[in-house]
Chains A and B, each alone.
Chain A
Amino acid sequence: MSNKNSNLSILLKGLLLENPVFVLILGTCPTLATSKTIIDALGMGLAATAVLICSNMVISLIRRFIPDTVRIPCYIVIIAGFVTVVEMFIHAYLPSLYEALGVYLPLITVNCIILGRAEMFASKNTVFKSALDGVGMGLGFTLALLSIATIREVIGAGTFAGIEIPVLVDFKIKFLQETPGGFLVYGIMIAVVYKLTHGKAPKKTKFGCESCPSFAVCGGVKCDNTAKEAK
Chain B
Amino acid sequence: MDFTGLIIILMSSVLVNNYVLSQFLGICPFLGVSKKLNQAVGMGFSVIFVMVIATTVTWPIQYYLLNSYGLSYMQTIVFILVIAALVQFIEIALKKFIPSLHKSLGVYLPLITTNCAVLGVTIENIDESFTFTESIVNSLGCGLGFLLAMVLFSGVRSKIDEAEIPKCFKGLPATLIAASFVSMAFFGFKGIVG
What residues of chain B lie closer than 8 Å to A87, measured between beta carbons?
A: 76
Give the total number of A-B pairs whose CB atoms are below 8 A apart.
Answer: 147
Cβ of B31 to closest chain A Cβ, rounded Å: 6
Return the CB mask of B69-110 against A: 1 if under 8 Å, else 0: 000011111001100100000000000000000000001101
B24 near A188 with CB under 8 A, answer: no
Given contacts A218-B111, A221-B33, is CB(A112)–CB(B76) below 8 Å? Answer: no
Whether A110 contacts B119 by the Cβ 8 Å rule is: yes
What string of 1s and 0s marks CB contacts (under 8 Å) between B22-35 and chain A?
Answer: 11111111011101
Residues on the A chain within 8 Å of B25, using CB: 29, 33, 107
Decide: A178 and B187 in contact? CB cutoff 8 A: yes
Q: How many Å from the CB of B127 to the closest CB on chain A?
A: 7
Interface centre among B33, B113, B166 (most CB of A within 10 A): B113
Binds B, one of A76-84, A126-134, A138-146: A76-84
Say whether A224 contacts B123, CB under 8 Å.
Answer: no
Which residues of A lie under 8 Å from residue B116 when comparing CB positions? 29, 107, 110-111
A213 at the interface (CB under 8 A from B): no
In whole Å, how far is A69's beta carbon from the nearest beta carbon of chain B? 11
Instruction: List residues of chain B with CB within 8 A of the CB of A191.
Output: 166, 168-169, 173
CA distance A77 to B110 in the complex (A): 16
Given A219-B108, A219-B110, verify A29-B76 contact (CB < 8 Å).
no
Stretch at the interface among A37-45, A149-157, A179-187: A179-187
Residues of B within 8 A of A1 (CB): none
Q: Contact residue range for chain B?
A: 35 or more
Q: Are A228 and B170 touching (Cβ within 8 A)?
A: yes
For A91, the closest partner residue in chain B by CB is B73
For the complex, is A225 an interface residue (Cβ under 8 Å from B)?
yes
**CB under 8 Å from chain B, chain A span 159-190:** 178-184, 186-188, 190
B38 interfacial contact with A, CB 8 Å: no
The segment from B2-10, B130-138, B177-185 that touches chain A is B177-185
Check: B174 CB closer than 8 A to any chain A CB: yes
Decide if A32 is an interface residue (CB 8 Å cutoff): yes
Pick the residue among A77, A106, A187, A221 that contacts B176 (CB under 8 A): A187
Given A32-B27, A84-B76, A224-B32, are A103 and B177 neighbors across the interface (CB < 8 Å)?
Answer: no
Kindly list 10 other residue pairs between chains A and B, CB separation below 8 angstroms, not including A183-B177, A221-B108. Answer: A25-B172, A33-B25, A110-B80, A112-B114, A179-B186, A187-B172, A187-B175, A188-B177, A221-B32, A222-B28
Give 8 nearest A-B pairs by CB, closest first. A187-B176, A183-B180, A228-B171, A33-B24, A191-B173, A184-B180, A32-B24, A80-B77
